Structure 1
Amino acid sequence: MEKKIAIIGCGSMGKMLLEKIINSKIIPEDNLFVANRTLEKIQVLKEKYKNMHICRTNKEAAENSDIIFICVRPSDIKTVLLEIRDVLDNSKHIISLNGSILFEQIETVCKNNKISKVIPSVTAEVNESQTLVCHNSKVTKEDEIVLNKILGTFGKVIELPENEMGIGAEVVSCMPGFIAAIFNEIVVVAQEHTKIPEEQITNMLLNTMMGTSKLMLENKLSFEEVITRVATKGGITEEGTKVIHEKLPGIVKEMFEKTLEKRKLTTENAIKAFNS
């Protein structure tokens, strides 16, 4: 791929993206242009990736690139867009890594540009991200293919309409945290009934979770089918699944209500800040 890529903002997400792109060799290292508020932070990366370009301004990074990843906080997105606006011709593709700012806000500054929004997951670190993406009307099929190739360097790409990105983020981006919280409670309670070390219990659970995922994916099994196979009538597992079916739905319902309400509030605040 001969595209030139800018990464504006080198926090945890920007740094992850930079390293995945370079390590995948999807573009030559010298086709990467990086800008950050704190120059010293990217100077450290330059020591490791000697051929990438360190840019002193966001405008410089955008001017030299075809695809521009904006990896900054919602409160900083408008400032970045205003800074780079003068060098944005219609061919440049802007990628926002923040789900809180809507296309209609970004388009008030960059109304003629191709714009996509991307929400990766922490599992991108091990190339298992379920990365969500949506596009505005100016993004072509060719643009989508190129972006998917970049995002595919750290996992699978799932395209959704913009209005479904919120619940999509709950299912894939927030879910590692939810899963970890649930399994942590299982570890805590299991320790009350055994002398097996905590680390060993944790590894047993993690490997069982991986095995269950593999079983379901490879054999195309539903959750209900797995329950039926393991929770035989009158057996031990059935007693546990009865408790889960009785108690867990209310917890899950409340969890989604709380997170979606928080997401709505975050989006409203981000939009207010953008429009101010």
Structure 2
Amino acid sequence: MKIGIIGTGSMGNILIESFIESQAVTPSQLIVTNRTIEKAYALKGKFPELQVAETPKNVANLADIIFICVKPLQFHPLLTQLAPFLNADKIVVSITSPITVEQLQTVVPCKVARVIPSITNRALTGTSLVSYGSTCSSSDIEILNSLISHISTPVEIDENITRVSSDIVSCGPAFFSFLMQEFIEAAARQTDINEEKATQLASEMLIGYGRLIEKGIFTLPSLQERVSVPGGVTGEGIKVLKEEVGEMFDLLFQQTHAKYYEDIRKIKEQFD
């Protein structure tokens, strides 16, 4: 089985490196290309057995499963370019949220799916959000799930929760990294700790926190209850958070969804 990757930017790169590291595929099974072809050849320098294709058409012609890792507004023109090189046995996989599997099916003559990855997949963990086109057979779904399971937990989602699910799974690491960086910088501003030491302590805390949740030792509410003893320091900190957070996350979801609907409108114009 040959796996094609069109677009070797941030997420395309993560998929390539994760698939290889997890042994989901060997480098020789991968066919990659990028608009700036030098970036694709840079990956070949790292994985010599990997095949670089000069054009997306070559990838479509040679690969059995083609992951498309380009920006949303680049999809429609790319799909129309690829369509003559796709047959009913191939599977095109989108990694972007504003384009539905139904829209993909209107352009290409093959099977389609959507897999929204997360940067956490680079550590062979976290979730990938999956949706399958109506022409995917049970064996197609099994093949894709097996591939994705090497680097993440695939979770099938309905279209109406695509954006919020992606906010949590895919954008969430960036959101919480920002909050953690603010936490670290405030510690350095308000106390004698330096930023390097605060970063070390915070990073170890996050790793330990994740393992507590992973092992089911605590839920999010029970962890707060266990650490926040009556009259203690943690309780005072939680009090500040409750007062200051307010509608911050409501506004975050409103903003991400506004951008999402704007992208959907522009994409719909292309597909219509």
With structure 1 as the length reference, what TM-score do the two structures score?
0.90
CA distance in 2, matches of 1:94, 1:155: 19
Query: In structure 2, do the counterparts of structure 1 residues 10 and 248 end up closer, same or farther at CA, with 3 Å as the change threshold?
Result: same
Higher mean alpha-carbon deviation, 47-56 vs 252-261, is at 47-56
**SS at 2:181's partner residue?**
helix
CA distance in 1, matches of 2:182, 2:33: 41
Deviation for aligned residue 1:167 = 0.4
Deviation for aligned residue 1:98 = 1.3
CA distance in 1, matches of 2:176, 2:90: 38
Alignment of 1:71-220 (within 5 A): 71-110=69-108, 112-220=109-217
**Aligned counterpart for 1:68 among listed residues 44, 66, 69:** 66
Aligned residues: 272
Aligned residue for 2:260?
263
| Long gaps (5+) in structure 2 | none
Query: In structure 2, do the counterparts of structure 1 residues 59 and 210 end up closer, same or farther at CA, with 3 Å as the change threshold?
Result: same
- Paired AA for residue 271 in structure 2: N
Deviation for aligned residue 1:210 = 2.0
CA distance in 2, matches of 1:193, 1:94: 52
CA distance in 2, matches of 1:38, 1:184: 33
Aligned residue for 2:271?
275
Percent of counterpart pairs with the same letter? 31
Deviation for aligned residue 1:266 = 2.2
CA distance in 2, matches of 1:120, 1:44: 22
Query: In structure 2, do the counterparts of structure 1 residues 47 and 208 end up closer, same or farther at CA, with 3 Å as the change threshold?
Result: closer
Question: CA deviation digits over 1:163-220, x for unaligned, max 9?
Answer: 2211001111111111112122222222233211111112212211221222233134
Higher mean alpha-carbon deviation, 166-175 vs 146-155, is at 146-155
**Pairing 1:238–2:235 present:** yes
Query: In structure 2, do the counterparts of structure 1 residues 238 and 271 end up closer, same or farther at CA, with 3 Å as the change threshold?
Result: same
Aligned residue for 2:29?
31
- CA RMSD, aligned part only? 2.0
With structure 2 as the length reference, what TM-score do the two structures score?
0.91
- Paired AA for residue 122 in structure 1: I
Deviation for aligned residue 1:93 = 0.8
Deviation for aligned residue 1:92 = 0.8
